[in-house]
Amino acid sequence: MTEPAVAAAVSPRLIAATLATAEDIARVLRTRPDAAAPIPGAEWSVGEAAAHLAMANRLMADLARGLDRPYGDGTPASLAAANAGSLAADPERDPLVLAEAIVRHTRDFAEAAAGGPGARLLDTPLGPMDLPTLASYLLTHMLGHGYDLARALGQPHMVDRERVDLSLPFLRTAMPRVVDARAAAGRHIRYAIGVRGGTLFGVTVDDGTVTVDQQAPRRPDCTIVTEPVTFFLMALGRRSPLQAVARGALLAWGRRPWLAPAFPAFFTAP
């Protein structure tokens, strides 16, 4: 399933952000929390979320080395099944042990990524990606679950403006791959999407499919600009558009601004 790709290097900023995020998550876990403590709004406990991060980071490091590691078929159901299977196969739930594993596997990824530019597309759980996009995927995945862990344990989360900016390459790549075809069926909408202070990009919903463009459309139906952390949390299903509006963190305008709240519903976060 791999295809030739233009070689691309992972930026030092992105590598540094992945390493820093792993350390931030490890600091949360080193507070010696109860591994069985539930995470609000999630099915996993603290120990299970930490174990998932350790396993996922090891998977990403293996992919960066060029190893073949099949993990679901990209659909939410298959990824959920793969997650459940990997958790059942490894019973380790000690937060201190898992904190070290998360950091170790992130360092392994950084070492593999620093070995040179990617010469091909890598087969990831969400389809083919080059190495820089895979690094953005790793960062995004850690930030999402790290946010959940910090929130559950009353610790400061690690999502900030710079890390959100570095997550955008993955989020833009993933959007067409996680579209809810039923929700998008029969809809024809051109969005301009962006974070406050950044550039806009285009997202077109066309009868069940979604395409993403680096540039915003000339005449979008709806323009949505969101505060960066809120944008990230909405993208990962951790915050609703109504919550964002209530916090003054989302602005929408254009010919059909009432389409803004519908935008997140077109996607199913894996």
From residue 6, alpha-carbon distances to 68, 88, 119, 211, 212 in Å are 20, 38, 7, 21, 20
Q: In a structure prediction context, what are the per-residue pLDDT tens digits for the chain, which is 270 residues long?
A: 434 444 568 999 999 999 999 999 999 999 999 999 999 988 899 999 999 999 999 999 999 998 999 898 888 889 989 999 999 999 999 999 999 999 999 999 999 998 765 557 899 999 999 999 999 999 999 999 999 999 999 999 999 999 999 999 999 999 999 999 999 999 999 999 999 999 999 999 999 999 999 999 999 999 999 999 999 999 999 998 889 988 999 999 999 999 999 999 999 877
Domains of the chain, each with CATH number or no CATH = 4-160 (1.20.120.450), 178-266 (3.30.1050.10)
**What is the Cα–Cα distance from 23 to 6, expressed in whole angstroms?**
31
CB-based contact 204:176 (threshold 8 Å): no
Distance CA 139, CA 1 (A): 24
Length of the chain: 270
User: What's the token pair of residue 267?
Assistant: 């996607």
Rounded to 5°, angle at Cα 268 from 266 and 270: 155
